[in-house]
Amino acid sequence: MTKKTAVSKKPYDFDAIVIGTGPGGEGVAMQLAKAGKNVAIIERYKSVGGGCTHWGTIPSKALRHSVNRLIEYNTTPLFSDNHTNHTLTFSEVMRQASGVIKNQVRLRSSFYDRNRVSLYHGEASFVDKNTLKVVRADGSEDTLTSKQFAIATGSRPYCPEDIDFSHPRIYNSDTILSLDHDPKSIIIYGAGVIGSEYASIFRGMGVKVDLVNMRDRLLSFLDAEISDALSYHLWNNGVVIRHTEAYKSVEGRDDCVILNLESGKRMRADCLLFANGRTGNTDMLNLSNVGLEADSRGQLKVNKNYQTEVDNIFAVGDVIGYPSLASAAYNQGRFAAEAMLEGATDDRMVEDIPTGIYTIPEISSVGKTEQELTAHKIPYEVGRAQFKHLARAQIASTKVGSLKILFHRETKEILGIHCFGERASEIVHIGQAIMQQKNGGNTLDYFVNTTFNYPTMAEAYRVAALNGLNRIFND
């Protein structure tokens, strides 16, 4: 009689399940899949890409690009003598953004197909530390088990309960993308990155903009000169900025929105965009079933390996807070995957993460600000290049802006790069690359001795470096 051999069954359906298909989730899933792991990824929306693709980075930057081209057309001398100003409605501009979103979804979907990552659409919630329930839009359910999990569910706009966001004239930074009328005026409450970007976009379309800021200056984390440059540029273009204000109530009417401020001021506009903070998407995960608890902002605590207090559950992206950037989230995902594979990660986020703010013009910076260096009593000097003096900027009619290099006056080590102007988010990476050089490679001398193509915007580094060296003197 032949003895039957018991067939061993894998204890779990997957080696790892990732919740969320934004940059962080994609980074985890791709790294694990390429290491040969059996991976599933969950997306509650009908298409992959997360908030970055559908409601945040991609659509807002596509909007900005279209509006910036419109501004260029209306202000370029080549055309200005032969036409009246051209205008576009918000919905017309959104059509171009929609095409970009579709292309991004198609590309990102192909990544999961090629790497054999199982994709499930539905709302995910924990049953226990190794089991996940996924509820589809039609109400049907899947129960999936896994050895490890990565939470990359992103964030959503903070929406106070005393404001009626169902009103057709009251929007947050997600719902503003569905704006289907042509407002002549808008109030933007919240002057952070999102509020400042949309202030630029709407003003570029000729909409009257009131920007309400709870702080005493715009984007206070920036170098003060750059913040002041943005404030001046918005003011010069007609944006009314109200600092140190807080809302008391919002009245949605049939023909307008009234914003009542704590200071007693009353403001009226065709619509309101509330852009004051974001909340991590963790409330639907049933974290209590695994012994986890998010903070008041929906964020989770993680260690240096992106591991939560539950050893087999990791988290990346907006749900862990700073820096809340799509670029950083992808790298966090990769590093978390390494920790899931090896028990720890040797990689670290680079110390100096560049900031890109897509106002019109752009802002980008990396490294220390003048205020930080002064507070730490570091002897620094400044090198500046005004874009209006660069041949490439004159040719392209992008003369607004400047590049500022902060460097140690004794060692000439580069300490910070700050750029305001068109293509700033591209230009800053040249300085970032040099700042990462070791063994004395990070000095101002690189920009002085390197030959730059002419004419280019990159030439601003040579101009700024020479300007800075001229400020150094010997006793």
Pairing of strands 141-151, 313-315: parallel
Query: Helix 424-435 and helix 460-469: axis angle, to 10°?
Result: 60
Strand partners, 149: 17, 313
Query: What value, to the nearest 5°, has the Cα angle with vertex 61 and ends 59 and 64?
Result: 110
What CA–CA distance (Å, rounded) separates 378 from 364? Answer: 22
227 annotated as ligand-binding: no
Whole-number Cα distances in Å, 472 to 160, 413, 418, 459: 52, 13, 20, 21
Place of tokens 């202030």: 199
Contacts of 428 (CB under 8 A, 6+ apart): 354, 356, 364, 365, 366, 417, 419
51 annotated as ligand-binding: yes
47 annotated as ligand-binding: yes
198 annotated as ligand-binding: no
Going across the sheet that includes 355-357, the strands are 355-357, 363-367, 414-421, 401-408, 380-386
What CA–CA distance (Å, rounded) separates 318 from 151? Answer: 10
Q: How many residues does the chain have?
A: 475
Strand partners, 131: 128, 145
50 annotated as ligand-binding: yes
Long-range contacts, 457-461 (Cβ 8 Å, 24+): 457/387, 457/390, 457/392, 457/393, 457/423, 457/427, 458/427, 458/430, 459/390, 459/391, 459/392, 460/385, 460/387, 460/390, 460/402, 460/403, 460/427, 461/385, 461/403, 461/405, 461/430, 461/431
291 annotated as ligand-binding: no
248 annotated as ligand-binding: no
43 annotated as ligand-binding: yes
Annotated binding-site ranges: 43-52
Annotated binding-site ranges for FAD: 43-52
